[in-house]
Structure 1
Amino acid sequence: MSPDYPVILHHFPQSPFSEKIRLILALKNVTWTSVLISRIMPRPDLMPLTGGYRRTPVLQIGADIYCDTQCIVRELERRYPQPTLFPSGYYGLAAATAMWTDRPFFQNTVNLIFGSVADNVPQEFIDDREKLRGAKFDVAAMREAIPQMRDQFRAHLQWIEAQLRNGHSWMCGDRASLCDVNAYMNIWYVRTNLPDLDKMLFEFPATRSWEARIRAMEHKPCKEISPASALEIAANAAPRTTVLADPYDPNHRKPGDQVEVMPDDYGKIKVSGEIVSLSSQHIAIRRHDPRAGEVVVHFPRAGFLVFDQSRQAEGVA
């Protein structure tokens, strides 16, 4: 299924979460368009699309905006089912690996990298990440914790090695899957920032070979456009999200309800809108912006909080 609108990825080259999606686009042979955004705020042409959500990457197809890699992965698999990200099944387990790779494994990797390069981290980057996190981005503490971070990173590598033993080329069978993409992200992040990854991988021969195979995959966009051009595409498009109710929603939310959505860990900026579609795994909200026009912004449910605005007005969470 090919959309009429281009598949646009808003990203920056150093982003490990963006690398995850760039790799998936390569695995699926999807033709895509790149919009390079600043590594730090402000992002004046992206915020009208997302309603303030500022984590990277963001996928745009016309006036439908997909936030968080969970949501982006699900939509790419829906639109481009072959080759699948789940060649051996394990749909639930493969998706759930993101709760490992994107949270404890990623935090371990961040501490290891920024602790190692602490003296070279620009102050403007530190200031930006403190605003994003809502907490101190303490590179000095990260530097002190490097021995512990190396221990933890080695433990994560051992889990990957255990899955690749006995001649397995990929983590869940004989073809690359979402499990591989998720696990690779943090190794890629270390590879691109620290010189000693090969030493860390020395005791893990299967992981070394696996990492080299993935690294050799070429993934380049078909073209690049400006953030302003992407915003114009959205403004001239109409969302195509189908209205979908969830009869089992535990909080009885439904299309038409006014809600606010935000991540539960960091980047806690609430995005307001009217529910268009929801399920156990996603929620899509319609919002209007003077520059973007009408857009539908899509979020995952795991790792995100949803607040009912009418209940908040009544003093109920």
Structure 2
Amino acid sequence: MSADASSIILHQYDISPFSEKVRVVFGIKGLDWFACDEPVIMPKPELVALTGGYRKIPVMQIGADIYCDTQIIIRELERRFPKPSIFTGGDKGLGWGMGLWTDRSFFMAAVAVIFGNAPDAMGEDFKADRTKLMGRPFDTEAMKAGAPLMAEQLRANFGWLEEQLADGRKFLMGEAPGIADANAYYNLAFIRWIVPAAMKSAEAMPHLAAWEKRVTAIGHGNRQEISRDAALDIAKSATSIEVVKADPGEPNGLKPGDKVTVMADDYGRDPIAGELVSSSAQHIALKRSDPRVGDVVVHFPRAGFLVMRS
């Protein structure tokens, strides 16, 4: 099967923890998708041509619509492919809020434990790149010193999952996997890929250990590969399906046609400028143009991102 404007293209790399979150959702929904492998560190010229400056991984592309951040990627997958739903136990709202826990405090504990125990796992170029991304030193010596303390934090996060699973349920919200499982699982996968010995505390929790194996067994759907140039060619030949729509509830009166800039509020705060196409409490879409891909619409979530008039 060859990719076209209707295909799901995930700009990712295999050891990207946040890409793993999306890949688990692909598995839950049994989706066909194309992996477009991007560099782990900058420069990422093809990705930047699509996004206008957003450099974090993953990014999902469907035709000329570009989705940045796992929150908006998963929201769009649920909208386009609602069956089976990722909301399996009354978690339609709180499932999103859980993502801020797993993407921030849980993830940062995992990062500290990983690089505190394996400070040279990714090399000096990676450290320099992540220093620029984070806006502060990626100090593996400090992580090494703090690793014992962060191991305690990590075990506490594992313990919450163990308690949730303690009644014998198969997945975090019940008998079927969903967004809660994808949100939590990728942190365990990330640790296991690089420092499997750091998973001892999780392996000592019987419900959590069994759950991890069940989520792993879900797989990643049907993956195929696509080159970066081929993905950009699809974007250039496609037209966005996003409909121009004003949101009367916009707190600061933003409306279609306004020039705005969007950036993450935590790290990787590269500003992306464009013309507002549509917005809501959970979503904002900007139209922008690049010589390599033509006109595209770039989508972001609202939680975790800042929107400013240009």
TM range (shorter): over 0.9
Aligned to 2:84: 83
Q: Where do residues 153-164 of structure 1 align in structure 2 (5 Å cutoff)? A: 153-164=154-165
Find runs of 4+ consecutive structure 1 residues off by over 3 angstroms: none
Instruction: Name the CA distance, whole Å, in 2 between partners of 1:208 and 1:282.
Output: 35
Aligned to 1:92: 93
Aligned to 1:226: 227
Instruction: Name the CA distance, whole Å, in 2 between partners of 1:39 and 1:220.
Output: 23
Aligned to 1:66: 67
Q: List gaps (5 residues or longer) in structure 1.
A: 310-317
Q: List gaps (5 residues or longer) in structure 2.
A: none
Cα shift at 1:22: 0.7
Moved more, 61-70 or 217-226: 217-226
Q: Where do residues 236-275 of structure 1 align in structure 2 (5 Å cutoff)? A: 236-275=237-276
Aligned to 1:315: none
Cα shift at 1:190: 0.7
Conservation of the 8 A alpha-carbon contact between 1:34 and 1:221: no
How many aligned positions are there? 307
Instruction: Name the CA distance, whole Å, in 1 between partners of 2:121 and 2:226.
Output: 31
Taking structure 1 as the reference length, the TM-score comes to 0.94
Which amino acid in 1 is paired with 2:109?
Answer: N
RMSD: 1.2
Question: Could you give the per-residue CA deviations for residues 4-39 of structure 1, whole angstroms, max 9, x where no partner exists?
Answer: 521100000000000000110111011101101111
Instruction: Name the CA distance, whole Å, in 2 between partners of 1:30 and 1:249.
Output: 34
Which amino acid in 2 is paired with 1:100?
Answer: W
Conservation of the 8 A alpha-carbon contact between 2:30 and 2:222: no
Inter-CA distance 198–186: structure 2 relative to 1 (3 Å threshold): closer
Q: Where do residues 1-317 of structure 1 align in structure 2 (5 Å cutoff)? A: 5-219=6-220, 221-309=222-310
Question: Could you give the per-residue CA deviations for residues 192-233 of structure 1, whole angstroms, max 9, x where no partner exists?
Answer: 111314522243110000001111222254421111110111
Taking structure 2 as the reference length, the TM-score comes to 0.97
Inter-CA distance 246–170: structure 2 relative to 1 (3 Å threshold): same
Question: Could you give the per-residue CA deviations for residues 69-94 of structure 1, whole angstroms, max 9, x where no partner exists?
Answer: 00000000000000000022221111
Which amino acid in 2 is paired with 1:102?
Answer: D
Inter-CA distance 221–174: structure 2 relative to 1 (3 Å threshold): closer
Which amino acid in 1 is paired with 2:283?
Answer: H
1:216 match: secondary structure: helix
Which amino acid in 2 is paired with 1:27?
Answer: I
Instruction: Name the CA distance, whole Å, in 1 between partners of 2:221 and 2:193.
Output: 17
